């Protein structure tokens, strides 16, 4: 499905691959490890904190993430409050293989999200504050843990990509109206004729 040494590139909103549902990774091979490393390299190059397989044109259930500890208003690190943060934050960057969210908290939080596939456009998205993640890591180990904070937000954003969903589809209406012209411009450049944004809020 992908070749060694083939340079990856970001796919932009409107590209049909971003609306595709990703397929499971059947085995964690050297090719998958190379893909994860290449995805991280591209993510860093574009100043991102998360990247999903669809975003590089490969509808595979693989996500790479690199976030640090959150900080308070004084710039002091906020201690991780959930088992998933305690487990994953010290391991950053991480590649998640066949990740899934098995449950969501009832309480929601607001956050201005951006996306490498929707450059320079930001909008508020309401999401559950905590999720329970089930995933394999690149070393083949398995993890099931509750995740909160920025990690929960990034996980939901990236796993949406694996379901063919981009954050602008979930943006609050008022915010979406502010970026709609920019979204339409992306679609004209990258999408097939007649492409319509399927809003999910």
- Cα–Cα distance measured from residue 161 to residue 145, given in angstroms and rounded to the nearest whole number: 21
Q: What is the DSSP string of 107-119?
A: -EEEEEEEETTEE
- Cα–Cα distance measured from residue 123 to residue 121, given in angstroms and rounded to the nearest whole number: 7
Q: Is the peptide bond before 61 cis (omega within 30 degrees of 0)?
A: no
Instruction: Spot the catalytic one: 26, 158, 172, 180.
Output: 158
- Cα–Cα distance measured from residue 169 to residue 26, given in angstroms and rounded to the nearest whole number: 29
70 is catalytic: no
Task: Compute how many other C-beta atoms are within 10 angstroms of the C-beta atom of residue 179.
Answer: 17
- For the annotated catalytic residues, the residue numbers are 158
């Amino acid at each position: 499905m992908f070749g060694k040494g083939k340079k990856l590139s970001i796919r932009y909103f409107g590209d049909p691959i971003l609306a595709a549902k990703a397929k499971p990774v059947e085995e964690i091979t050297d090719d998958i490890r190379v893909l994860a490393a290449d995805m991280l390299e591209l993510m860093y190059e574009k100043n991102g904190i998360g990247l999903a397989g669809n975003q590089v044109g490969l509808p595979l259930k693989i996500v790479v993430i690199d976030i640090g500890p959150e900080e308070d208003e004084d710039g002091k690190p906020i201690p991780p409050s959930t088992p998933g943060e305690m487990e994953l934050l010290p391991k950053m960057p991480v590649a998640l293989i066949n990740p899934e969210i098995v449950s969501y908290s009832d309480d929601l939080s607001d956050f201005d999200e951006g996306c490498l596939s929707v450059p320079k456009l930001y909008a508020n998205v309401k999401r559950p504050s905590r999720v329970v993640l089930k995933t394999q890591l690149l070393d083949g180990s398995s993890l099931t843990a509750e995740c909160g904070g920025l990690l929960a937000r990034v996980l939901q954003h990236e796993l949406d990509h694996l379901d063919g969903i981009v954050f602008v589809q979930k943006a609050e209406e008022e915010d979406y109206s502010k970026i709609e012209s920019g979204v339409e411009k992306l679609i004209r450049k990258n999408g097939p004729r007649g492409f319509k944004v399927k809003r999910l809020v």
